[in-house]
Amino acid sequence: MPAGFELRSDGLYKLIARTRGDGYDPLYLCDPVEVVCRTRDRRGEDWGKLLRFKDPDGRLHEWIMPDALLANDRGEWRSHLLRLGLRISPAKTVTTHLRNFLFLVEVHRRATKVDQIGWCGDVFVTPAWVIPAEMPKRIVLDGQGEAEHYFAISGSLRDWQERVSALCIGNPLLLFGVSAAFAPVLLPLRPGLGGGFHFASNSSTGKSTTLIVAGSVWGGGGKQGFVRSWNSTPSGIEALAQCHNHTLLCLDELKELPAEQAGRIAYELANGHGRARMNGDTKRSRRATWELVFLSTGEFGYMTHILNVEGRGYAGQEVRVCEVPADRAKFGSFDDLHGTGDPAQFAQTVGQAARDNYGTAALAFVGRFRDIGRDQVRRRLDISMQSFRERNRSAGAAPEVERILDRFAFVAAAGELATEWDVTGWPKGAAMRGAETAYSHWLQRRGTPGSFDLQQALDHIRSTLLAHAPARLQRHRQGKPERDQRVNNRLGFAELDEKGEVIEYQFPDHLPAELCGLYGHELAVKALRSIGALVKESEGRNPKRTLPDLGRLRVWVIIPSKLFSSEEETRGDV
């Protein structure tokens, strides 16, 4: 305690020397406040003090006060203490005395300050708990990044297993969602597998309930348990991501996210970093970083949301947010209602159970991870992932499909580890089967294990030809035009056989920009070649054809039978 100050049971006092006579008169500064320890970050910078005090309701608060706040007399530190509920005297001289106390008070205890939850070496930190609870060097979490969090514990692990986890059995989407909740803890073992899964359905099928159940692994207490909303600014989404590092982020109602932001946010959430920004001193501030798995819901697909603004999607976006249909089960999102009367009643039952029992499963999972050790966990993770890949790999799959398969395998392995470690209470293989069903539904919705970019280009070419073939493709037989056809704004030519069937689409000079769309000429050519729909001579040149008004020349030739039969093959059941 600095000289001239005294901490009593009813408050902190400054001892003011009497102007007449000996002794001191105590000046009340604030309610009792304890300086727990000195803090600094892992680089030995950003020093501060951990303060502990109670608000008028008796609730205990802790706040890491940066020493830098005491460098000026603006009183930001005082305003923050008042917001947290510390009673401070309004007397004019009190601010100066209290500021001097906070500057002069010294403690020998030290703690490493971290500004992000998740793994810090071999220690896992959340606002609600730290594992291991006892350690030689204390680590404290600076909770200023998010004013409100839902990392909390309610009930016991057995309560959660019996009332929440048990109802997931027989319901692949619930099994998959809960398995995904455990996966972020394992990300340091397999960097790069973070990303999102979007549960899409245009009706009330139970997709939001799936998020509530998955979120109960980590916490709850909010209106929707652990679930947050997409309704936020890009900076707000970044802050949420940073506050869910190595944990699950649940985001409901995609329609709340402006479509023009969806593409960039998909990359940021999966890649693990936000935008670089300048601070108040016009210096580059530290970029927010994170590793996480996120679950999302919406009445439409994530790629559909992007297409509404950008006109096309990219394979990179698809890799980062995998769309899993939420309405492929017997009862929307559910297959087994566990004796309840109907899907709505089951959703209410399991959802309420998840709102009442939460936070214990993640605590147990992280504890088991530390007990077993990273090397052994990594070996078991790799074996389980390899098993999933071997059982679900498609012949000739595109590289992006292989990457997505890895993420589904990662989630499956996380769920199986949680089962082996007696966290879920599920039978062995349940998590694997749930992930396999989710992957199968994802692949069916996608339509092909081939390249996403090539498939999108082909879809555009097909739709353009179907829309404009009757009016804008001039029909002819070996250069002789159909007499009864009037063509405006000609796009190309369509050659007919003796029966009047179109056997070739023909385009002089190049494939029209309208036909290629946003995908460009090079990608359109590559897509057509991939299915054998583009005619080439042995030397790789375009063939010659006789066209009305143009004579004989080299043209780009597309075979309709190849183009549209390929669509049937790739769009069928996988």
Same domain, residue pair 429 and 463: no
Cα separations in angstroms, 416 against 275, 380, 448, 543, 559: 35, 10, 28, 57, 49
Q: 126 lies in a domain?
A: no
Residue 387: predicted pLDDT: 96
Same domain, 17 and 79: yes
> Which of 92, 114, 136 is a domain's end point?
114
Burial of 556 per CB tally in 10 Å (0-12, 13-18, 19+): buried
State the pLDDT at residue 19: 80
**Structural domain of residue 311, as residue ranges?**
157-446
Q: Are residues 110 and 38 in the same domain?
A: yes
pLDDT of residue 283: 46
Has residue 303 been placed in a domain? yes
Tell me, what's the pLDDT at 281? Answer: 46
Note whether residue 129 is domain-resident: no
Based on the fold, state whether residues 183 and 320 are members of the same structural domain.
yes
Here the contacts of 342-350 (C-beta below 8 Å, separation 24 or greater) are 343/205, 343/206, 346/167, 346/206, 347/206, 347/209, 349/167, 350/164, 350/167, 350/168, 350/174, 350/209, 350/213
Looking at the structure, do residues 419 and 271 belong to the same domain, yes or no? yes
Q: Are residues 379 and 477 in the same domain?
A: no
Q: Are residues 227 and 349 in the same domain?
A: yes
49 touches 39 (CB < 8 A): yes
Report CA dihedral (442, 445, 451, 455) to the nearest 10 degrees: -170
In contact, 254 and 305? CB cutoff 8 Å: yes
Q: Which of 279, 292, 313, 258 is nearest to 451 (CA)?
A: 313
For the full predicted model, state whether its pTM sits above 0.85. Answer: no
Do 274 and 170 share a domain, yes or no?
A: yes
Q: Are residues 393 and 477 in the same domain?
A: no
> Does the residue 135 lie in any domain?
no
Looking at the domain assignment, is residue 127 inside a domain? no
Provide the number of structural domains found in the chain: 3
- Residue 523 inside a domain? The answer is yes
Closest CA to 322 of 266, 377, 363, 385: 266
CB 137 within 8 A of CB 38: no
The pLDDT of residue 256: 87
| Confidence (pLDDT) at 357 | 97
Closest CA to 519 of 312, 309, 304: 312
Q: Which two tokens stand for residue 288?
A: 């927010």
303 and 220, same structural domain?
Answer: yes
Residue 132 located in a structural domain:
no
The last residue of one of the domains, among 90, 114, 138, is: 114
CA distances from 215 to 151, 187, 355, 426, 427 (A): 10, 18, 9, 18, 21
Q: Is the dihedral of CA 514, 519, 522, 527 positive or negative?
A: negative
Tokens at 477, concatenated: 């037989």
Are 174 and 192 within one domain?
yes
pLDDT tens by residue, the chain, 574 residues = 899 999 999 999 999 988 877 888 999 999 999 999 999 988 899 999 999 999 999 999 989 999 999 988 778 899 999 999 999 999 989 999 999 999 999 899 999 888 889 998 889 999 889 898 776 678 888 865 445 789 999 999 999 999 999 999 999 999 999 999 999 999 999 999 999 999 998 777 789 999 999 999 999 998 899 999 998 888 888 888 988 999 999 999 888 888 788 888 888 888 888 765 555 444 445 677 899 999 999 888 777 777 666 666 666 677 888 999 999 999 999 999 999 989 999 999 999 999 999 999 999 999 999 999 999 999 999 999 999 999 999 888 888 899 999 999 999 999 999 999 999 999 999 999 999 999 999 999 887 888 888 888 898 999 999 988 888 999 999 999 988 888 888 999 999 999 999 999 999 989 999 999 888 999 999 999 989 999 999 888 999 999 999 999 999 999 999 999 865 444 433 2
Please identify, among 79, 114, 149, the residue that sits at the C-terminal boundary of a domain. Answer: 114
pLDDT for res 538:
84
State how far the Cα of 201 lies from the Cα of 336, in Å rounded to an integer.
19
Q: At what angle do helices 259-271 and 234-242 cross, to 10 degrees?
A: 20
CATH number (domain holding residue 363): 3.40.50
| Secondary structure tally for the chain: helices H, strands E | 18, 22
What pLDDT does residue 282 have? 41
Q: Are residues 420 and 456 in the same domain?
A: no
> Is the separation of the CB atoms in 454 and 448 below 8 Å?
no
pLDDT confidence of residue 259: 79
* 274 in a structural domain: yes
